[in-house]
Amino acid sequence: MNRFFSTGDSVRVSLREAVFSGLAPDGGLYVPGDIPSLPECHDDVCAGGGGSDTDSFKRVARWAAPPFFPELSREIVADVVERAFTFPVPIVEVEPDHFVLELFHGPTHAFKDVGARFMAALMIELSEGQDPVRTVLVATSGDTGGAVADAFHRLPGYRVVVLFPQNGISERQRRQMTTLRGNVRALAVQGTFDDCQRVVKEAFLDPVLRAEHSLTSANSINVARLLPQSLYYVYAACAVQRRRGLGAHATPPRFVVPSGNLGNLCAGLLACRAGMRSSGFVAATNTNRAFVDVLDGEAYRPRPSIPSLSNAMDVGAPSNFERILWLYDGDLGALRRDVLGVSVCDEEATRCIADIYRDTGYVLDPHTAVAYEAARRQPRDGDAPLVVLATAHPAKFPDVVEPAIGATIPTPPGLMQTYERTEFMREVPPTLAALSRELELQSA
């Protein structure tokens, strides 16, 4: 049953093959063979039911997830949801009709926990008795590495190798990867995130290396990371409708998405294609505006990434752009009708953090501030509320946030614990040869 194919259009595989291979052998990214179709929404799913934010999210996820994983039974999907989503996903109305979907309440305080923990739980379900020890190879621009390392830490049958730009992430992001040890190896790459991503892709395109280490990816190039992110969009659309006390035909929300590698945005667009109602999307980037330029009418032109305060979005060649093109069958005109691009510089994002804290008491992290500033620039579209996706806890970026608000941010216990452990990382050049040596050491 081959329900996934490559954007390179030469490979068709099962869910298991897509998940465990990560990148297609033709260099493309796996996508669903058919666009999922959300089932009819019943009142007990979308219009209430009580319970905590965790229970509400799980309830919507159990309902919405099966069409995204048609090879699995509803019972297996429900079990994966139950094991993966053990944390709340609150939605906060910061200003009238300006909502923030807080995706940072997982164990590493970043939205990447949603996809990483779902992926780990799904891999357990898909594993077979004689499977080899697999190496989860991941490039990170900030939060992905910590989330994946935590999700797979001490999980039997898995090793994790994380590549991050040596000078491109915050100390707290780094310590979440470098203090776990065990089956986790952290590599500080002497370069940018684009260098990290390039080397990882080169490893997957090397058939010998790929087979020898049973490589799989945990970036959003892996469908097991990408698809579960669609679920929180569906949840947010339901939650906003419920919070506003409006009927099923009310104007749906418009989503404002902090955008770097474009996996988060791609997941939202896929949810929309699956039947979730929305009033469109805003792709909010920092000064790395390759995708915004496309939305403004220019040709796609990858470029070197530019360092910024919202470091997880410092991507000059977003890999999920090709998935978005697939979703729109290459029709850039249709994409531009659905998605507006907004670029926000560091100074504007920092000012937004200060303004929102002064006016409401709410604290934004630098990435969410990029999106919130983009939301503030939007003309009101009738009755459509705006939903800003909050991708990281502000305490992960005290050097940026605390001066902006003039106050100290309480640090969650999970972040404080990383200072009780010793860091271990290896510095490597941005080459496939260097990565190959580290993979040999990890498997020794």
CATH classification at residue 301? 3.40.50.1100
Residue 166 lies in a domain: yes
Could you tell me if 377 and 425 lie in one domain?
no
Asked whether residue 179 falls in the same domain as residue 317, the answer is no
Residue 203 sits in the same domain as residue 316? no
| pLDDT tens-digit series, residues 256-290 | 999 999 999 999 999 999 999 999 999 999 999 99
- Is the same domain home to 256 and 336? yes
Residues 303 and 423 in one domain: no
Q: What is the pTM of this model?
A: 0.91
Supply angle C-alpha 387, 69, 58, rounded to 5: 50
Would you mind telling me the total number of residues written for the chain in this entry?
A: 444
* DSSP percent split of the chain into helix, strand, coil, nearest 5: 45, 15, 40
Q: What value, to the nearest 5°, has the Cα angle with vertex 318 and ends 80 and 221?
A: 30
CA 383 to centroid of chain Cα atoms: 28
Q: How many domains does the chain have?
A: 2
Within-domain flag for 254? yes
For the cut 90, the answer to whether the pLDDT of residue 90 exceeds it is: yes
In a domain, 59, yes or no: no
**Domain-embedded: residue 377:** yes
Looking at the domain assignment, is residue 402 inside a domain? yes
pLDDT tens-digit profile of 27-83?
Answer: 889 999 889 999 876 555 665 444 567 788 999 999 999 999 999 999 999 999 999
pLDDT tier for residue 1 given thresholds of 50, 70 and 90: low
**Per-residue model confidence as pLDDT tens digits over 172-181:** 889 999 998 8
Pair (87, 103) in one structural domain: yes
pLDDT score recorded for residue 324: 96
Q: How many CB atoms lie within 10 A of CB 340?
A: 19
Residue 147: domain span = 113-221+419-443
The verdict on 353 and 386 lying in the same domain is yes
Cα gap 365→47, rounded to integer Å: 30
Tell me: do 354 and 299 sit in the same domain: yes
* CA 324 distance to own-chain centroid: 15
pLDDT in the model for residue 50: 44
Q: What is the pLDDT of residue 48?
A: 47
Shared-domain flag, residues 129 and 240: no
Query: Residue 91: pLDDT above 90?
Result: yes
Q: Tell me how far CA of residue 278 lies from CA of 61, 268, 271, 334, in angstroms.
A: 18, 10, 9, 15
What is the CB-side half-sphere exposure of residue 351 using CA atoms within 13 A? 8
Is the separation of the CB atoms in 6 and 22 below 8 Å?
no
Which one-letter amino acid corresponds to residue 258?
Answer: P
pLDDT digits (tens, 9 = 90+) for 131-187: 788 999 999 877 888 999 999 999 999 999 999 999 888 888 899 999 988 899 999
Rounded CA gap, 222 and 147, in Å?
A: 14
Q: Are residues 233 and 165 in the same domain?
A: no
